[in-house]
A and B are shown apart, each in its own frame.
Chain A
């Protein structure tokens, strides 16, 4: 069933249940105004919903009941028993019809008119009124029963709801409860740590923690909804509207997986609907016009959603005629919003933004769809009410785009926690590009006027100190080298460096809104709680940057950070220092090091000259293990990579990452060493990456291995030849019919059999000294591999 329809049925049924007791109470006292109001609201809602779908009978019924009740509310009619009975009969009928809709059956025919007549005001005599419902009632109940008992059973089965509706407050309550539990758990964890190890308690406690984490995730997800949910209802709307207006429109969605707070989705539903109406009504042209303009007959309406930091941006684009600026400005002048002189001074952008002004519509005629006075001004007001913003850009003839920025109230964002002035703050991680230590030699500081600048990787970017932003620090207490720099790239592509005392951790935080007085500082976007229950502020980086004029008006301007001339006297190469298993210091070029692993001794397998380590289910070649004894339990490994394959190097200890300032003095005699360099005055051998990978490089797996057919009926071929061929990177096949890239045949058979389908053939003979021009001795490993290799190169043997 259609989602919308399911919603309609669920909602109607819910209201029926809720009004059940009201109905009974009303029957007892027909003049009870409060009851009349409730029931009136019910039939009114049903009527409204019916109009949206195509249920004329349901609409008629509810309309009749609504009319009668409205008369009572207005005091023009005295509610009496007859009316109550008639209205109740209608509500029963609505309930039956709802069931039928859900079951996908046809609604029982007939009887509606009698019901409607019964509620009408001119139903005069009591006897008549009483008679009609009685007459009618069996009719309504007869229809479903008359058909079959089965649909009824199915209906009651369908009545079990797979989803329930919950008030959001209840979810909040539960969420709060779980958060409290997490805090209590953290407290307990601290106490347990202080008390020392207690195996009997630690196990269950770990389990409790894991369960709690799961519950917390689940609860959080309960509040979030994929934007998809909103998107699914749009194609229908677009279809109906375009049919009504005689246009053809196609919809395209992107970013349906972006999650948004449930409430927020409901908040944007109406504004979005309005934008769609506008786009189809005013934007997209009729098929004939489109063809004339050389466009596709079918218009395109595109929705793209993207999460950036604590904002969701939603772009709605149509490829219609664009905003008619001339008409818009003329109208603005005509209704007296602006004078022509003011309009003339406006930029195109400002002119386009006029569509958000109240009372402006470029539609020539007020159609049934839009232009009824509810304009884009209301849309803007609604979006701004939820803390978002809306912008428009349009190209005449090409189409219009609306840019919606929506905040994620109560949303989880990935944050980086940083410290300044002894306190922690959170930064949305999506803004963070890189973290650099101020003490690193890659970074240069400069001051131009009052503006601090940082030069990093040849780029000079403005630098803000968080302590200074927060007003907690003066110039003379500022020490560059003690700071950590967070390179921030805003959505506008503006880059700046934020100097903080230290960077703590990555954390997923739940952001909650903050009081207006704090909002006024324009420094904070929200608040969140740390694991220990202390509050932490979330910094509003775009606003901070904007306040310091770091955001350029036009995109890309910030990219003009000047490239600093690369005139380094001695190019420094970063290296990593470590001690090998023999306790001697060595170094490796940092670019080679992918990561540092710590694995269990058991995961290392050494046999003779072969050594391998298992990390995360993959086997890596192990080197460096011959330098000394492996530790008994945990082994530190450097995972080196040449970009294609990886190997691991066993070390005793990782010391430091540093610069290799001087040159490398080549040494002879030790092939594993590239040379020796000076680090702090001491000679340190540098591992030869080239040599290492040349020795231990694992054969690359071919994504499309060549196939090789080997004789299926020979045991020797299966058990001895097959592994060798596979190791050489071939896919072994036994299927005679398949055209293999190469076929290996045993000499004695080859004579008997006709050559099979294969692009090349290698023949093997069983005796070494036998003279064979075109065959290879079967244990001549090198010869065989060479032959296979030649096939690979494309040369036909």
Chain B
């Protein structure tokens, strides 16, 4: 199983996003906030004349956000025809998965459990494989 994964840091934990789904990794420059939207939606940013919906991954999981600073990196993914920029605390390299995603007895904690398809072994140690669609749906929708 040699799926390529984008290794990143979400809420202080190592996480992996399937690299085939990631169009690019960008540095978020300016975000236009959208009032009255759920917390995890930071706003919109423009990437080459396209508007991306910027999500804070930590908040989308239902965890505490580490707070954002300028120049933060985000993975651009497309879900149902809409482009999203997934803000992560750090984006590392693209690496190969060394194992199938597996469940761990006892789970990964309720928040992680919802938006993760399992744990994969990577060169840098175990990481949680993110389920992009579940992440984008946000904590409210997942709970529902």
Interface positions of A (Cβ within 8 A of B): 176, 179-180, 182-183, 421, 423, 469-472, 512-518, 521, 523-524, 527-529, 533-537
Contacts and interface: CB of A to CB of B under 8 A. Distances in A.
Given A470-B35, A524-B34, A529-B46, A535 B136 contact: no
7 A-B pairs closest in CB distance: A470-B35, A179-B49, A535-B44, A515-B53, A535-B51, A515-B82, A527-B51
A180 B48 contact: yes
Contacts of A470: 35-36
B49 A423 contact: no
Contacts of A521: 34, 36-37
A536 B53 contact: no
Main secondary structure of the interface of B (DSSP, over half): mixed
A421 B46 contact: no
A421 B35 contact: yes
Instruction: Name the residue among B30, B53, B138 with the largest chain A CB count within 10 angstroms.
Output: B53
A517 B82 CA distance: 11
Given A523-B36, A535-B46, A512 B51 contact: yes
Nearest to B79: A515
A295 to B, nearest CB: 47
B138 A183 contact: no
A183 B48 CA distance: 9
Given A515-B82, A534-B30, A176 B48 contact: yes
B50 interface: yes
Given A423-B33, A523-B36, A534-B30, A518 B49 contact: no
Contact of A183 (B33, B36, B49, B51): B49
A499 to B, nearest CB: 15
Contacts, number: 70
Given A179-B49, A533-B49, A472 B35 contact: yes
B50 A176 contact: yes
Given A517-B41, A521-B37, 16 more contacts: A176-B49, A182-B49, A183-B49, A421-B35, A470-B36, A514-B51, A514-B53, A516-B80, A517-B53, A518-B34, A521-B34, A527-B44, A528-B51, A529-B49, A535-B46, A535-B51
B32 A517 contact: no
Contacts of B44: 527, 535, 537
Instruction: Name the residue among B34, B38, B50, B84 with the largest chain A CB count within 10 angstroms.
Output: B34
Interface in B109-144: 136-138, 141
B45 interface: yes
A303 B62 CA distance: 50
A536 B41 contact: no
Given A180-B48, A512-B51, A535-B46, A517 B36 contact: no
A569 B137 CA distance: 60
B31 to A, nearest CB: 9
Given A513-B82, A517-B53, A537 B46 contact: no
B106 to A, nearest CB: 30
Instruction: Name the residue among A518, A521, A527, A535 with the largest chain B CB count within 10 angstroms.
Output: A535
A656 B48 CA distance: 44
A471 B51 contact: no
Contacts of A512: 50-51
A527 B43 CA distance: 11
A562 B35 CA distance: 34
B37 A517 contact: yes
Interface string B17-55: 000000000000010111111100100111011110100
A535 B32 contact: yes
Contact of B138 (A472, A517, A528, A534): A517
Contacts of B36: 469-471, 521, 523
A533 B36 CA distance: 23
Nearest to B44: A535
Nearest to A524: B34
Contacts of A529: 46, 49, 51
Contacts of A517: 37-38, 41, 53, 136-138, 141
Contacts of B38: 517
A303 B44 CA distance: 39
Nearest to B32: A535
Contact of A537 (B34, B45, B49): B34
16 contacts: A176-B50, A180-B48, A182-B49, A421-B35, A423-B35, A471-B35, A512-B50, A515-B84, A516-B82, A517-B141, A518-B41, A518-B53, A523-B35, A529-B46, A535-B44, A535-B45
Nearest to A179: B49
A682 B64 CA distance: 65
A529 B30 CA distance: 13
